């Protein structure tokens, strides 16, 4: 997985984004200026606000993506993704929690039914077919310990027990 490039504020106390836009670091805060007027600030580690504001600058035509890349040392793809996110969802898109997967297929009731069938000796494939589950979903639940499949008695197991006795 590629390493994410964070904005570089540590060495630079101030810098220029364009001829009119600049930034300055003071006491763990980053301040942005248009000429001599302050226009925005955020905490040094606040990555969401950084991405939101730099995307806003690009979308509003105050600077280009390459200006953000050069000024802060971030990757081109991260700036492109942030700009796309801003265009599609606005400011709120940077602060909403990410979407999660849909509803859990193995609810408590389904787990109980599944465990009852497995305990009765019904095979995995048949259980999955009866309850309308994917066989892989059932296998994952057994591997993770949410379901217990009884050990099938084989001739080898019975022969080994007979030798021990």
Residue-wise pLDDT tens digits, 154-164: 666 565 666 66
CA distance 113 to 27: 59
Residue 36 has pLDDT above 70, yes or no: yes
| Contact present, 38 and 26 (Cβ < 8 Å) | no
Angle at 33 between CA 28 and CA 77, to 5 degrees: 75
CA distance 66 to 127: 57
Burial of 152 (0-12, 13-18, 19+ CB in 10 A): exposed
CA distance 91 to 53: 8
Per-residue pLDDT, 149: 87
| Contact present, 38 and 17 (Cβ < 8 Å) | no
- The 10 Å Cβ neighbour count of residue 79 is 21
Residue 6 has pLDDT above 60, yes or no: no
CA distance 25 to 13: 5
Could you read off the pLDDT of 79-132 as tens digits, one per residue? 999 999 999 999 999 999 888 776 688 888 999 999 999 999 898 899 999 999
Determine what percent of the chain is predicted with pLDDT higher than 90: 56
Per-residue pLDDT, 5: 61
């Amino acid at each position: 997985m590629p390493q994410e490039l964070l904005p570089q504020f540590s060495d630079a106390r101030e810098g220029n984004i364009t001829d009119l836009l600049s930034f300055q670091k003071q006491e763990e805060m980053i301040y942005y200026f248009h000429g001599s007027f302050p226009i925005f600030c955020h905490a040094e580690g606040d990555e969401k606000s950084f991405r939101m504001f730099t995307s806003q600058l690009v979308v509003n035509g105050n600077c280009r993506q390459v200006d953000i890349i050069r000024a802060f040392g971030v990757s081109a793809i991260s700036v492109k993704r942030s700009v796309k996110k801003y265009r599609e969802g606005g400011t709120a898109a940077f602060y909403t929690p990410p979407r999660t997967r849909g509803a859990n297929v193995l609810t408590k009731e389904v787990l109980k039914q599944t465990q009852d069938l497995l305990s009765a000796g019904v095979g995995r494939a048949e259980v999955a077919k009866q309850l309308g589950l994917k066989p892989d979903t059932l296998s994952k639940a057994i591997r993770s310990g949410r379901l217990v499949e009884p050990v099938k008695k084989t001739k080898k197991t019975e022969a080994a027990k007979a030798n021990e006795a």
